[in-house]
Amino acid sequence: MNWPRALLTDSGGFQMVSLLHLADITEKGVTFQSPVDGKPMLLTPEESIQIQSRIGADIIMALDDVVRTTITGPRIEEAMYRTLRWIDRCIAAHKRPHEQNLFGIVQGGLDPVLRDICVKGLVDRNLPGYAIGGLAGGEDKDSFWRVVAQCTAALPEDKPRYVMGVGYPLDIVVCSALGADMYDCVYPTRTARFGTALVPEGVLKLKHRAMADDIRPIDPTCECMVCKNYTRAYIHCLVTKDAMGSQLLSYHNLYYMMKLSRDLNSSIIQGQFPEFVCKFLQKMFPKGDVPEWVCNAMEVAGIDISSCCAPFTTSQD
């Protein structure tokens, strides 16, 4: 790859959800039906670690048994306990512990008891870092933030806490307030392919007809190459006809996320994170209609956002 910077690889566990119609999950591992030729392929915890080792990533993820948070019943408990059994197989297969950091993944769906059992089991194994998995799969936001808060509170403060599959800028700010450190998501580039740009106010949909004659940059406050050189009208013309539109929007969206991350990080270091949160929310919700789940999460995080919220106008969205 010749990538000279930090690298994180995933284990393949998420494909148990995204390719469920092609997968058969047993204690041994996951048998996939190849989407190319239909042949069965077995992915075991050992094989997952070996593949990630060959790639040479700085952070590698244990193979976990993933189920959607919208599923209920005994399958959630089965997956959580299997995840704990598989972490031991991953640790045994991990031959480069001084070069690669193996993270365990907390599972347990939306069940607080199962999440606690999984957290304790992983912490007992003294791993270099921990991920909170199985979220951003369709659960309601109130359940989402409560699982994050529960897990970050129980995981060691001196090791990275990584919320997998997150996310939206608002989710990242909220989860950071709750104690999370790391995130990953396809959202910035996927939404770009649909003609949507990330801006401090939320999103800007460049496919809308109103953009056709708008000669402003995507975000007048943004310093990225796209905002310096192209108008909304030009990108509007591209996104409906040409792949270059998606590429320009992807560039801008990634720049936006990088700046958000840098500003968030520096505000924590400078002891100004509460001020950062309020400024972020004021831009995104200028009318004060901050969603109720955000207000509840900030209360648990100990951050006063009353100056951002209009009385009696909170929303469940």
The residues assigned a catalytic role are: 10, 184
| 160, 58 Cβ separation under 8 angstroms | no
Strand 129-132 with 196-199, pairing: unpaired
Q: What are the b/e assignments for 61-81, b being 16+ CB within 10 Å?
A: bbbbbbbebeeeeeebbebbb
Q: Order of strands, edge to edge, in the sheet holding 161-163?
A: 8-9, 59-61, 101-106, 129-132, 161-163, 182-183
Non-local (6+) Cβ contacts of 156 within 8 A are: 123, 130
Prior bond of 38 cis (ω within 30°): no
Non-local (6+) Cβ contacts of 51 within 8 A are: 12
> Which one-letter DSSP state was computed for residue 186?
S
What distance in Å separates the CA atoms of residue 237 and residue 207, rounded to the nearest whole number? 8
What distance in Å separates the CA atoms of residue 161 and residue 152, rounded to the nearest whole number? 7
> Which one-letter DSSP state was computed for residue 14?
T
| 317, 291 Cβ separation under 8 angstroms | yes
